[in-house]
Amino acid sequence: MTHALLWVSLLLQTQTAAPAVPAEATSFLQSGMQSENTNDVESAISAYRRAADLAPSSAIVFFRLGAAYVKKADYTDAIPPLKHAAELNPDAPAIQQMLGFALLGAGFASEAIPHFEKVNEAGALGIAQLQAGLPADSVANLRAALARTPSDPDLLFYLSRAAAQLSSQSLDNLLASFPDSPRAHQAKGQTDWQQKMYAEAEKEYQKALALRPDLPGLRLELGQVYEAQSDWPKAENEFRQEAKTQPGSAEAAYRLGDVLLQEGKMKEAAEELQRSNRIGPDMADTLYSLGRATASSDPATAVRAFTRVTELEKQTSLAAQAYLALAGVHRKLGKNEQASRDMQDYRDIRALIAVAP
């Protein structure tokens, strides 16, 4: 709603066009506008009503009346004058916009949509579509609006809502249309996993695997379910099978390497992480895990890997972790001055992250 009011405010500020109005009605119109300027909306509405009685064919008068109602968040009362204004001047973008906002504010999202479409108002249209249960269209329009104003927090908020609704809707469609398909079980498994219902997630993934053992990514996800439970041997088994069937997957190699790392199998982990890095070079997570796997046995490789992470990540939490790890390796090598510099870099990044919005 805040967003809608912002749009209204903008609209009122830019409204300039006004049809011819009888003199007495013009006087009330001006009086109403002056009241609005002093935030006396009730007086403005009263004046606009008098003007409307005197000039029933003036679109600007009905627009002002409707807009004043919108200003006081009285959307229900705003709609009739705005509809009348739209009938009188169907081509006025401002009227279409305001009518759209009034309808949206009153909960008539579907009815608001054509008015926003007429004026190509992507942001408001996306919000209306979201509320009308059209998440796919909503996502498209909100993305278009964000392309113009990428840092608009309201648009980002509605986009996240629309994307979630689209995801949920797509899942519902999948489950309704193909309830026993491997993808349906995979999707249910993902949902269970997110809700930490690991036993249920595991069952769904197993069902999916029974139907389509070759489906890429299934074992990767099942492995992560085991990983979330710190069940490293089972996770290793799944990642190993995924890496075998998907030898070109850098993620499968990374996941396998990382779980081997958790199991303390440092040499195997290093080999797998090196392989992942060859398939998909310069993935920061892979390099970080590679550094951890080699920190004791091959400090030179560890230093290279951690240093590369700091180059790739700059001022992120992972970069801070890499500097901390570098300090550890350098301390181990007796390079205490370098370790102190690493620690200072670590502290600097942590401080930056701490104050970041």
Partner 1 sequence: MLLLSLCTVGALAQGQKGSAPIFHVIPMRGVDFVLRNSLTQKKYLIETMPGGVAMLDYNNDGLMDIFLVNAGHVRDPMSPGMGFDRHEPAYWNRLYRQNKDGSFTDVTEQAGLANAGDTNYGMGVAVGDYDNDGYPDIYVTNYGKNILYHNNGDGTFTDVTAKAGVGAGGWSVSAGFFDYDNDGRLDLFVTRYLDWSVEKSKTCGEKQPTYCPPGDFPPIANILYHNRGDGTFEDVSVSSGIAAKKGHSLGVAFADYDGDGFTDVFVANDVTAQFLFHNNGNGTFSEVGLDSGAALTSNGKMLSGMGVAFQDYDNDGLPDLVVTELPHQPYIAFHNEGQGAFSAEELESGFGALSGKVSGWGVGLEDFDNDGWKDAFIVQGHVFDNISFYDGSLHYLDPPLLAINRKGHFEKGDAGSDVPVAGRGAAFGDLNNDGWIDVVTTSLGEHPRLFQNRGGNQHWLTISLRGKRSNRDGFGARVQVNGQTRFATATGSYLSSNDKRLHFGLGDVDAANIEIHWPSGIRQTIRNVKADQFLVVEESTAP
Q: Using the rule CB under 8 A, is 334 a contact of partner 1?
A: yes
Interaction with partner 1 in 44-63: which residues (CB under 8 A)?
none
CA angle (355 as vertex; 353, 357 as ends), nearest 5:
90
d(CA 245, CA 217): 10
Instruction: Write each residue from 256 to 275 as x if it is in contact with partner 1 (CB under 8 A), else as -, in one continuous string.
Output: -----xxxx-x---------
Of residues 147 and 199, the one with the C-beta less far from partner 1: 199
Total number of residues shown for the chain: 357
Of residues 173 and 344, the one with the C-beta less far from partner 1: 344
d(CA 323, CA 344): 9
Interface residue with partner 1 among 118, 188, 219, 292 (CB under 8 A) is 292
Instruction: Write each residue from 91 to 130 as x if it is in contact with partner 1 (CB under 8 A), else as -, in one continuous string.
Output: ----------------------------------------
Torsion of CA 341, 343, 348, 354, to 10 degrees: 180
d(CA 145, CA 135): 15
Of residues 33 and 197, the one with the C-beta less far from partner 1: 197
The single-letter DSSP state of residue 197 is: -
Nearest alpha-carbon partner for 66 in 44, 91, 90: 44
Of residues 76 and 340, the one with the C-beta less far from partner 1: 340
Tell me how far CA of residue 289 lies from CA of 223, 273, 325, 343, in angstroms: 17, 7, 11, 19
Total residues contacting partner 1 (rule CB under 8 A)?
33
Give me the least distance between CB of 297 and partner 1, in Å please: 9
* Backbone φ, ψ for residue 9 (5° rounding): -55, -45
Q: Using the rule CB under 8 A, is 196 a contact of partner 1?
A: yes
Give me the least distance between CB of 201 and partner 1, in Å please: 9
Q: Using the rule CB under 8 A, is 314 a contact of partner 1?
A: no
Q: What three-state secondary structure class fits 133?
A: coil
- Positive/negative CA dihedral, 32, 35, 39, 41: negative
Stretch that binds partner 1, among 3-11, 134-142, 194-202, 271-279 (CB under 8 A): 194-202
Stretch that binds partner 1, among 9-17, 156-164, 241-249, 321-329 (CB under 8 A): 321-329
Q: Using the rule CB under 8 A, is 170 a contact of partner 1?
A: no
**Token duo for residue 134:** 């059209």
Give me the least distance between CB of 198 and partner 1, in Å please: 5
Of residues 119 and 312, the one with the C-beta less far from partner 1: 312
The single-letter DSSP state of residue 218 is: H
Tell me how far CA of residue 2 lies from CA of 153, 170, 233, 335, in angstroms: 11, 29, 51, 57
Which chain residues interact with partner 1 by CB under 8 A?
A: 196-199, 228-232, 261-264, 266, 288, 292, 295-296, 317, 320-321, 324-325, 327-328, 331-332, 334, 336, 339-340, 343, 346
